[in-house]
Amino acid sequence: MIKIPRWSFITFFLILVIAVFAPMGLSRSPQETVAKPFAPPAWTGGDAPPPFSAVLSPSQGIVVLDWEWEAPENISIKGELVFEGYSVSKLVWTTPDGRTFTLASFQGSGKWPLDLDGRDITFKTALGIPPLANALPLLFPSRGEHRVSIEGDIPSGGSLNLTLPGGKWGLMGTDQRGRDVLALFIMGIRVSLLVGISATLLASFFGLSIGLTSGYLGGVVDSLVMRTVDVLLSIPVLPILMVIVGIWGKGLWQLVIILGLFSWMGTARTVRSLALSLRESCYVENLRSIGASPWYILYRHLLPEAMPVLLATISLGVPGAILAEAGLSFLGLSDPRVISWGRMLHEAHGFGAFTAGAWWLIIPPGIGISIICLVFLDMGRSIEEMADPRLKGSLRQ
Amino acid sequence: MIAVRNLSVTYRTAARSVQAVTDVSLDLPKGSITAIVGESGGGKSSLVYGILRLLPPQAKVSGSIIYDGTDILSAKESWLRDFRWKKAALVTQGAMNSLTPVLTVGYQIGEVLRIRLGLSRKEADKRTAELLGMTNLSPEYAKRYPHELSGGQKQRVVIAMAVACSPELLIADEPTSALDVITQAEVAATLLDMVREKGMGLLLVSHDLPLAASLCENLAVMHKGRIVETGPPEKILGSPSHPHTKELLSAFSLIGGPG
Amino acid sequence: MRSYWIRRAIGAAAVLLLVIAANFFLFRIMPGDVVSSIVDPRFSPEAKERMREVFGLDQPLLRQFVIYVRRMLTFDFGISFLSQRPIWDELRSRVPNTIALLGSALLISSALGTWLGVQAARKRGGITEKVVLISGSISFSFPSFFVQLVLLLFLAYTLPVFPLRGSVSIPVPQGAIDRMLDYIWHLLLPAGSLVLLGFGSWAIYVRNLMVKTLGEDFILLARAKGFSESRVLWNHAFRSALPPILTIFLLALPGIVSGAVITETVFSLHGVGKYLLDSIMGHDYPAAGAAFYILGLLTIISNLAADAAYAIADPRIKVGRRAGM
């Protein structure tokens, strides 16, 4: 019988694919400014204009903008045009009320490089306004049809890119530095998965070794280990992590090691009780009586027996590590150069997302963390159920 | 008198449904001692718990159990609460888990007296000591917790608790089966003393045919949810007519049971 | 009974010693000079020399540790690098805020969670059970600070019902009652969010324990006695499930303290957790160590309180065995 995998396995696979491939698809660095700070997502309502870009070329000498919003933050026209022979040409801006502005003009032959920015003084001088005035309200006096056109001789080659940064951006808007939140969000998946999985693997390795040793040796070692586990479990972990990270440094790998060092206790307990019950079982007794070495029993029998439980423990442990990483990053105890979901929430909290009402800085990373946690929890439970079908349908935390 | 008529009990779970009791009719006259015997899983417990309407919600019950003209199975909640313990009380396998572990024995007996009979705390304490005495336990056991008692002692406490309201009928579900042989005999004797002394009826459920037969006036043999044989114990033991009765008997003669 | 208390006390002392040792060694394995982690680098050489003597830095490590333990136990934490004031003076005003946050959140979420858990166990498949299940999975997978940020955004910014930050209004209102109300108003959202995040998991634990308990023989017998359903539920079932519930309380405690640190940061509360973060951020190591120690101490004291409740709830404690552990 073919079993349909649980939703969590499919989701996990999808997340993995996104984490690996999506950053490659980003056209620019996620650190780059793409729009004004705190620009809301493009699909939201309101008067803020969406980003706009168009190309002027010999074949497309005019661009018409149907402008239904307030004036954009800025305008930029970049590129070069090529003229064969002596030509006279200019770049003309026409407002809905019919006024025209010459943005730039050219006389001669060959290349005409252009780099216009609405904030440049030369640009403002060309428009005939003082250097401290804002050029945009002049160019966008009202809503309606705006045009930008190449007038005079037609160029033979090259092109100009017109971009208006827009007060809205993309699927998830921008943050306090005008960075694309979607790009940051996608980069954040990597950190969560990386830290979550590697810290839990490390913790499971510690837990497995300590638990097996403790359960197999028993006696003084065992009770010493278990008391240590008890004591460690009764200290709040986050403050310890905060102190250690504060002293030792905020690097990603330091964080993985620290998280691994402080989350092996649960695994150790589970593995220990498993090892204890197996040690007492007739089947290990028989193996020992026919002269199997402890290592052989450990590797050939105890470990395979413990494997499903261990796999489930790993999967169930990942959310804890992800939440711990996110918590520390949220508190600001992470490398500021590494983009992570917790860091995004930290910056949203610390850099005025509230006063800007920028919910799009808070919801995506939070939901992202929750979904990844739920996926790992569900995978862990599925593995547990596969290992022990009696658990099916029962209610656990 | 309690009359069970055409009682059927079916347990339904998601996977399957099991019929535990099939079309059972049984009369329990006031003051009589009746025993139901049969192998475990034969539907005995479902039958007796039905009398107190204590079956779990997934049990589907049909038929009727009439007490004084009222059908217990369809009676109102308030009537049922009044019926329970004052008219019919239950003695479970006390050695197992019948006593609330975190409450003292004295509190648990006193609770019944205070809540069901409206006794004051002081009266209840006094009566609790008497009840413990009647079951051959010293009154200082009142201060003890269940985990501090032996199996036989716990069973005595359960009996003391059951007779606290002087019910008309005592339902004893395997009252001795978790005990060792000597304690078994002692507890059975205590139970019988109490019943005789107070003129209570007793419905004894057991898989131990010889023991049941030695105590009861009327014996019913249950097999696969049906009552296959009823009558005075001498008659049934002397000339068992149903193969299952013979099986039960031979099982005990084989291991030389206390019959 | 006595052996139980001796063991609990030894356990608490072990945790306390571990916290102090962690403090002592963590701040000493830092890169650089030991003195710089304890004494403000901006101090004059004479002041540094004096601090060296106070801390016994010229003495052997073990001696230093003994001095350190004594100072921790007497709340002598030294001078803060950042504020140049005695650390204990700064912490003292913050401890009540943290206790108020932790205490109210713990009490309300455990009471609400317990009640819901019991109701869910009584009526399997009912609405209560669904509420418990959903709120439980929320509290297991939603990061606390995310939920709190969302609450803050919608209930303090979009709908300005609650204050955006702080433990009191500035200026502080006049009159004891007004000040009290103002304090509660500032506490409502932080404590409420902790309750929102906490009661679900609590309710699931209680429900699971109650479902197990309700299947026991003594519950059947209690029903047979003709007791009311609420007497069966609370006096017999809940009373019996209480010891394992308290065990869970104990296990959950460190996590709740960790949650308080984050909550204080989100809501900018004047508490020990926020102080810890500020000190770490400002490389104010003695202050960070002291805040960590106080948080550890709060956990240990709550632990002992739960142990005491456990001893009362479980009569089996007398024989020195702990159920459910």
* Same-domain pairing of A298 and A355: yes
For C211, name the nearest residue in chain A, comparing CA atoms only.
Answer: A395
Res. C55 pLDDT band, cuts 50 70 90: low
Residue-range definition of the domain harbouring residue A100 = 52-164
Size of interface A-C (CB pairs under 8 A): 150
Chains that touch A (3 or more CB pairs under 8 A): C
Cα→Cα distances A237→A266, A272, C259, Å = 13, 22, 10
The pLDDT of residue B257 is: 44
List the single residue in C19, C142, C208 with the smallest CB-CB distance to A370: C142
Chain C closest-CA separation from residue A192 CA (Å):
13
What are the residue boundaries of the structural domains of chain B, listed by start?
Answer: 2-254
- Please, how many CA atoms are within 13 Å of residue A61, restricted to the half-sphere of its CB? 14
The pLDDT of residue C29 is: 65
* Same-domain pairing of A96 and A229: no
Chain A residues lying within 8 Å of C255, measured CB to CB: 236-237
State which H helix or E strand residue B3 sits in.
Answer: strand B2-12
Chain A closest-CA separation from residue C142 CA (Å):
5
Best to test chain A binding among C28, C149, C322 (most A CBs inside 10 Å): C149
Chain A residues lying within 8 Å of C324, measured CB to CB: none
- Please, how many CA atoms are within 13 Å of residue C251, restricted to the half-sphere of its CB? 14
Chain C closest-CA separation from residue A246 CA (Å):
6
Res. C37 pLDDT band, cuts 50 70 90: low
Q: Taking CB atoms and an 8 Å limit, are C217 and B81 in contact across chains? A: no
The answer to whether residue A245 is domain-embedded is yes
Cα→Cα distances A144→A51, A164, B219, Å = 17, 16, 101
* Same-domain pairing of A56 and A198: no
Residue C321 has pLDDT above 50, yes or no: no
The answer to whether residue A9 is domain-embedded is no
Domain at A108, CATH number: 2.60.120
For A394, name the nearest residue in chain C, comparing CA atoms only.
Answer: C208
Best to test chain B binding among C122, C218, C230, C312 (most B CBs inside 10 Å): C218
Residue ranges, chain B, pLDDT below 70: 94-96, 252-259
Q: How many domains does chain A have?
A: 2
Residue C1 has pLDDT above 80, yes or no: no
B2-254: CATH architecture: 3-Layer(aba) Sandwich (3.40)
Which residues, in sequence order, are bridge partners of residue A144? Answer: A67
| φ/ψ bin of C8: left (φ > 0), alpha (ψ from -120 to 50), beta (otherwise) | alpha
**φ, ψ at A50 (rounded to 5°):** -75, 165
Q: Taking CB atoms and an 8 Å limit, are B100 and C236 in contact across chains? A: yes
C56 touches chain A (CB under 8 A): no
Least confident of B230-239, C189-198, C293-302: B230-239
- Comparing CA positions, the residue from A370, A364, A363, A331 lying closest to residue A347 is A331
C41 touches chain A (CB under 8 A): no
List the single residue in A234, A243, A327 with the smallest CB-CB distance to C254: A234
Task: Specify the amino acid at residue C73.
Answer: L
Q: Taking CB atoms and an 8 Å limit, are C208 and A396 in contact across chains? A: yes
Distance CA A240, CA C296 (A): 10
The pLDDT of residue A343 is: 92
Contact A81, A157 (CB under 8 A): yes
The pLDDT of residue B134 is: 85
**φ, ψ at C184 (rounded to 5°):** -65, -40
Best to test chain C binding among A224, A229, A235 (most C CBs inside 10 Å): A235
The answer to whether residue C185 is domain-embedded is yes
DSSP 8-state assignment for residue C158: I
The pLDDT of residue C277 is: 93
Best to test chain C binding among B82, B92, B98, B149 (most C CBs inside 10 Å): B98
List the single residue in A237, A342, A377 with the smallest CB-CB distance to C140: A377
The pLDDT of residue C319 is: 45
C136 touches chain A (CB under 8 A): yes
Task: Specify the amino acid at residue B84.
Answer: R
Q: Taking CB atoms and an 8 Å limit, are C208 and A242 in contact across chains? A: no
Chain C closest-CA separation from residue B178 CA (Å):
14
For C232, name the nearest residue in chain B, comparing CA atoms only.
Answer: B100
Distance CA C286, CA C34 (A): 12
Q: What percentage of chain B reaches a pLDDT higher than 70? A: 95
Kind of pairing, strands B2-12 and B59-67?
antiparallel
- Comparing C21 with A288, the larger pLDDT belongs to C21
The pLDDT of residue C191 is: 92
Q: Taking CB atoms and an 8 Å limit, are A373 and C303 in contact across chains? A: no
**φ, ψ at B177 (rounded to 5°):** -75, -20
- The average pLDDT across C137-151 equals 83
Residue-range definition of the domain harbouring residue C144 = 94-272
Q: Taking CB atoms and an 8 Å limit, are B90 and C243 in contact across chains? A: no
Q: How many domains does chain C have?
A: 1
* Three-class SS of C15-46: HHHHHHHHHHHHCCCCCCCHHHHHCCCCCCHH
The answer to whether residue A346 is domain-embedded is yes
State which H helix or E strand residue A396 sits in.
Answer: none
Q: What's the pLDDT tens digit per position in B94-141?
A: 556 888 888 999 999 999 999 888 889 999 999 999 989 888 888 888
Domain at C229, CATH number: 1.10.3720
Q: Taking CB atoms and an 8 Å limit, are C221 and B116 in contact across chains? A: no
Chain A residues lying within 8 Å of C13, measured CB to CB: none
What is the DSSP secondary-structure string of A338-375? S--HHHHHHHHHHTTTTTTT-GGGTHHHHHHHHHHHHH
Q: Taking CB atoms and an 8 Å limit, are C240 and B115 in contact across chains? A: no
What is the DSSP secondary-structure string of B94-113? HHHH-S-TTS-HHHHHHHHH
* Same-domain pairing of A131 and A187: no
C255 touches chain A (CB under 8 A): yes
Length of chain B: 259
Residue C322 has pLDDT above 50, yes or no: no
Chain C residues lying within 8 Å of A327, measured CB to CB: 143-145, 258, 262
* Same-domain pairing of A284 and A343: yes
For C314, name the nearest residue in chain B, comparing CA atoms only.
Answer: B102
- Comparing C119 with C4, the larger pLDDT belongs to C119
What angle, 0 to 180 degrees and rounded to 10, lies between the N-to-C axes of helices A7-25 and A363-387? Answer: 140
Chain A residues lying within 8 Å of C251, measured CB to CB: 233
Best to test chain C binding among B45, B78, B100 (most C CBs inside 10 Å): B100
* Same-domain pairing of A147 and A191: no
Q: What's the pLDDT tens digit per position in A127-176?
A: 888 888 888 888 888 888 888 888 888 888 888 888 887 777 778 888 88
Residue ranges, chain A, pLDDT below 50: 1-2, 393-397
The answer to whether residue A262 is domain-embedded is yes
**φ, ψ at A176 (rounded to 5°):** -65, -15
The answer to whether residue C109 is domain-embedded is yes
Q: What's the pLDDT tens digit per position in C213-248?
A: 988 889 988 988 888 888 999 999 999 999 888 888
* Same-domain pairing of A138 and A217: no
Contact C54, C39 (CB under 8 A): no
Provide the H-helix boundaries in B74-222: 77-83, 94-97, 105-117, 121-134, 151-162, 181-198, 209-215
For C254, name the nearest residue in chain A, comparing CA atoms only.
Answer: A236
The answer to whether residue A2 is domain-embedded is no
> Model pTM?
0.79
The pLDDT of residue C276 is: 93
**φ, ψ at A109 (rounded to 5°):** -140, 165
For C249, name the nearest residue in chain A, comparing CA atoms only.
Answer: A234
Which residues, in sequence order, are bridge partners of residue A163? Answer: A53, A76
Chain C closest-CA separation from residue B147 CA (Å):
7
What is the DSSP secondary-structure string of C224-288? HTT--HHIIIIIIIIHHHHHHHHHHHHHHHHHHHHHHHHHHHHTT-SSHHHHHHHHHHTT-HHHH
Chain C residues lying within 8 Å of B89, measured CB to CB: 224-225
Chains that touch B (3 or more CB pairs under 8 A): C
The answer to whether residue C314 is domain-embedded is no
**Mean pLDDT estimate for chain C:** 83
Q: Taking CB atoms and an 8 Å limit, are C223 and B84 in contact across chains? A: yes
Provide the total of helices (H) and of strands (E) in chain C, helices listed first: 14, 0
Distance CA B212, CA B206 (A): 7
Chain C residues lying within 8 Å of B142, measured CB to CB: none
* Same-domain pairing of A237 and A282: yes
State which H helix or E strand residue B207 sits in.
Answer: none
Residue C312 has pLDDT above 80, yes or no: yes
The pLDDT of residue C325 is: 34
Task: Specify the amino acid at residue B27.
Answer: D
